[in-house]
Amino acid sequence: MKKQIVLVTLMATLFSCKKEEKKAVDYVLISGNIQHHKEDNLILYKDGGIQKIEIEKDGTFLDTLKLEQGYYVLYNGKKGANLFLTPGDNINITVDVDNFDESISFTGEGAGENNYLKNKKRTIFAITGKHKTLFENDVKSFDEKIKKAKDISEKLLASTTEDISETFKVIEKKNILYHYYQQMNDYPYYYDSYKNIEGTPMPASFRKALQELNKDNEEDYKTIGVYKNLIHVYYEDRLKNKETITTAFDEIKNFNSALIQKNIIQYLSEEAIIPGNENVKLIYDRIMEVSQNDSLKKELKAIYSKIEKIEKGKPSPSFTYENINGGTTSLEELRGKYVYIDIWATWCGPCKKELPYLKELEKTFRNKEITFVSISVDEQKDKVKWKKMTEKQKLKGVQLIADKDWDSDFVKKYLVEAIPRFILLDKEGKIITANAKRPSSPELKSTLNGLL
């Protein structure tokens, strides 16, 4: 009852304020009705953070959320809508989850911006189609489609007659441009992924546009999620090339925005200070030089000391694990051949997707000097499940189950935090790479052919 009284009071306050006074508060009032909901909460997502809005039994919801201005995604189950929220908004949402995109509507303060985003989503989809459909296009067709989507989005924004703030118009015009750049940046990755190839270069015109983009705009960084992601991924790509690592950190070091500098360094440390990265020492040294975050530097020092032990050319940590026949197999027993290790689990979807490629790889190199080893991190209580799947999938090679799943010594020494993970060793048990390519990667076959 108290919650209802407080919310009613807030609503009355909001209704009595003029639009230009919205900045005086730091909360958004969200209410509405949802039909056929799949979960008991609505999830409001932004930059990795979530807030939950409870749905009552009759489908209504009402909550006051302390939010920063910016773009959000509102989810129920797997269905979602893009939102733009500003402190002071009092927005009412109605939606039928069974017909999510068509049925969602907005009224109240802040409705104009969000009805525009709904219309934009529908308009763009008519041009580009589904994600896979768009990114399977050749570069010329892809470029034409995303340019058309950008131009039409800008025209839609300019022609929208519903009440939307001038601030939103300025931000959304930038958002359209940044989304266009993000699609450029994504193209080589998704084209290769959908076509199951590797090495498609980013067109020169795309690369030039991304290079010229201002990457030191703190206001856009805080407000526009696609801009933030674009900057992070841009510098992540720069760290993949030894020739551009130093200049990348020189740029980051000279940023005016301490916030962007700190966040990018944090992001890059998570993405690049990893086993198997041949440039890890250079990146580590530059981060330690540029970063002002003592806590991060202390954490990285501890991680890097472990990575040093599993660098290329170092003796591999050993193992002795139970094999599929009930005996044990040690790494030492496999000396004399190259060893390709797959760390996986029966419950891991991405792991299982690699199995057909792994079996094909084993068939291709059957009579070569290489042993394929699969180490399951299933719990010991699931040993029967592991054996059944191994037999059902007719998996060849050396099939092992780790003694303490994720806490197994071999797994921990290789800093395995996600699976599948692949490791390649030479005939003497020394590390070629602690983070090898997946069986589905054409590059792996080329690497093995080069060794054998």
How far, in Å, CA of 160 to CA of 176, rounded? 15
pLDDT tens readout for residues 288-335: 999 999 999 999 999 999 999 999 999 999 999 999 999 999 999 999
Q: Determine the residue type at 33.
A: N
Q: How confident is the model at residue 21 (pLDDT cuts 50, 70, 90)?
A: very low
Looking at residue 1, its pLDDT comes to: 36
Q: How confident is the model at residue 5 (pLDDT cuts 50, 70, 90)?
A: very low
Contact indicator for 96, 75 with CB cutoff of 8 Å = no
Contact indicator for 288, 300 with CB cutoff of 8 Å = yes
CA angle 28–34–36, rounded 5-degree value: 150
Those residues with Cβ within 8 angstroms of residue 132's Cβ, 6 or more apart along the chain or in another chain: 194
DSSP secondary structure of 30-60: EEEEEES-SSSEEEEEETTEEEEEEPPTTSE
Looking at residue 24, its pLDDT comes to: 67
The pTM is what?
0.81
Those residues with Cβ within 8 angstroms of residue 443's Cβ, 6 or more apart along the chain or in another chain: 198, 437
Q: How confident is the model at residue 85 (pLDDT cuts 50, 70, 90)?
A: very high
Give long-range contacts, CB 8 A cutoff, 24+ apart: 157-166: 157/116, 157/120, 160/112, 160/116, 160/119, 162/111, 162/112, 162/115, 162/116, 163/111, 163/112, 164/112, 164/113, 164/116, 165/19, 165/86, 165/112, 165/113
pLDDT tens readout for residues 137-162: 999 999 999 999 999 999 999 998 87
pLDDT tens readout for residues 162-200: 789 999 999 999 999 999 999 999 999 999 989 988 888
Does an H or E element contain 375, and which?
A: strand 370-376
How far, in Å, CA of 40 to CA of 46, rounded? 20
In order of start, what are the domains of the chain with their CATH numbers? 2-109 (2.60.40.1120), 128-310 (no CATH), 320-451 (3.40.30.10)
Q: Mean pLDDT for the chain?
A: 91
How far, in Å, CA of 243 to CA of 282, rounded? 11
What percent of the chain shows pLDDT beyond 70?
95
Res 409 pLDDT > 60: yes
Res 115 pLDDT > 90: yes
Looking at residue 26, its pLDDT comes to: 86
